[in-house]
Structure 1
């Protein structure tokens, strides 16, 4: 049995998947298996996988397109290892990523969640490492309050997260009914119940494309996590409430960009504005035409390697 199972959901990533797989095969820690869940791609993604010869790779084919959460769940259910590391099919690990996870597992036996920082790569050339607040906390550590530390850019992304299999046995798998914010939903369930060990080293390249930022994502057809349900379940958790309101803010901004006024009004009404910073409160109050102009300026600055955010 391998120490890690690496789960890569795959759907229409023919231009990226080989580089992603190679970043796993080139790891300094090599006790792992790779499960690639092919979710009925309509491009040549599957053929790109088959071109790579390695006995560490197992390709699992869905018979119909089921979505990201279902692909991750298929991987979890077929994993032979006690520790499961996720990697999206267009992201890349640095060669010491799994070695760092192994070190965290050995160093913090009380933890069942393990993660590292990451670098955002825009259009293959502009690199931005966020989360200065975690860099200021020093070397590896146990996260004392996940929700407080994530009131902004998340401290990890799915591609920089490793989960002990027993976590899924207690909190459940990814919710396949949720088609947007499924990661937020899982993060809440997992971090309420288990300790997270964290490395502030940015060991994952998170590939983003500026032309797709703030673009249409068909939010009208998306199903969100039930934030209000968590408030009812944990009424005295003030940090969780702030985290939920921050994620509501993010969704409201996206819905406003798509002129989904009814959904955005409902979510906006659930926010306690005291849980938002001044910039966030302002962006929810000013006219949408001004917000659109600000978004265009942000996009331009990002191309120049300058990150401007309302999360600070």
Structure 2
């Protein structure tokens, strides 16, 4: 298998070295490592060039496109028949590629597999926290995302046919995996092969959750009513909108619904929590 690893980066020079090094130190080496620099203003280029590896391809964007524009650039340039995504601030365990390649060879009907990850500085710990079966994949993804991009290993044509939505402000990985699960076979390799450390300058810390949810539910209107947790999140959006308009009664109503759906979901849907 020829594997292309895609790493989008933006002003992460201080973290990028460990991320790239964890890919170069894999027990099964990738065909290429495509680093798409999304118009960084720090010394990212110098960090990349310090490796002096012929596997590394450094692609500087001419303008700021965002992480998913950078990922799409990497997908379209990839020469491998399989694609794996890495983030510029995370660490792969040494056998990640080896174990995912082995899984895909043994299961050629699978279009995408993902491993579990460990959140280093979070009480949540491992994500997902249990084995996800293929037959429940789409249903659970409709409730929320548990597949992070740096855990994904997939056929290139699937990535090419799906691509990331560059217009979404947040939840792009959720959107990407949800679309893949509706058309292709996705399996979970129930083993931690990625370590993730949450940083204060992550996308989720910069983009309003409410605005991102509003945009997401506009793209997927059916999800607003599909599960209790989504009903709760949608009422959270409505509460925020009504409170901003000064409509006290409406905002109180939506906040009460938000709490009600959240509590009921927690009581009755414990198995679905991943």
Which category describes the TM-score, using the shorter chain as reference length?
A: 0.7 to 0.9
Whole-Å separation in 1 of the counterparts to 2:5 and 2:87: 10
Give the match for residue 11 of structure 1: 10
Please give the secondary structure, in 1, of the residue aligned with 2:207. coil
Structure 1 residue 46: Cα displacement = 2.0
Give the match for residue 157 of structure 2: 166
Structure 1 portions without partners, runs of 5+: 283-310
CA 1:102–1:255 in structure 2 vs 1: closer, same or farther (change >3 Å)?
farther
* More helix by percentage: 2
Whole-Å separation in 1 of the counterparts to 2:46 and 2:262: 48
Whole-Å separation in 2 of the counterparts to 1:35 and 1:104: 23
Query: How does the TM-score come out when normalised to structure 2?
Result: 0.79
Give the match for residue 101 of structure 1: 100
In the alignment of these two chains, the number of paired residues is 262
Structure 1 residue 112: Cα displacement = 0.5
Are 1:155 and 2:146 matched, yes or no? yes
| Worse-superposed segment, 203-212 or 25-34 | 203-212
Give the match for residue 305 of structure 1: none
Are 1:63 and 2:62 matched, yes or no? yes
Kept after mapping to 2: 8 A contact 1:180/1:224: no
Give the match for residue 204 of structure 1: 194
Alignment of 1:1-312 (within 5 A): 3-122=2-121, 128-134=125-131, 143-150=134-141, 154-170=145-161, 172-209=162-199, 217-218=207-208, 225-231=215-221, 241-242=226-227, 246=229, 249=232, 261=244, 276-278=261-263
Structure 1 residue 212: Cα displacement = 7.6
CA 1:225–1:182 in structure 2 vs 1: closer, same or farther (change >3 Å)?
farther
Residue deviations 1:237-268 (CA, integer Å, cap 9, x gap): x9xx33xx645755876998999847xx89x9
Structure 1 residue 133: Cα displacement = 2.7
Query: CA RMSD for the aligned pairs?
Result: 4.0
Please give the secondary structure, in 2, of the residue aligned with 1:133. coil
Structure 1 residue 148: Cα displacement = 3.6
Please give the secondary structure, in 1, of the residue aligned with 2:72. helix
Kept after mapping to 2: 8 A contact 1:116/1:160: yes
Kept after mapping to 2: 8 A contact 1:5/1:85: yes
Whole-Å separation in 2 of the counterparts to 1:211 and 1:279: 33
Please give the secondary structure, in 2, of the residue aligned with 1:85. strand
Please give the secondary structure, in 1, of the residue aligned with 2:118. strand
Structure 1 residue 16: Cα displacement = 0.8
Residue deviations 1:128-163 (CA, integer Å, cap 9, x gap): 2243332xx7xxxx5212144447774321100122
CA 1:160–1:260 in structure 2 vs 1: closer, same or farther (change >3 Å)?
farther
Query: How does the TM-score come out when normalised to structure 1?
Result: 0.70
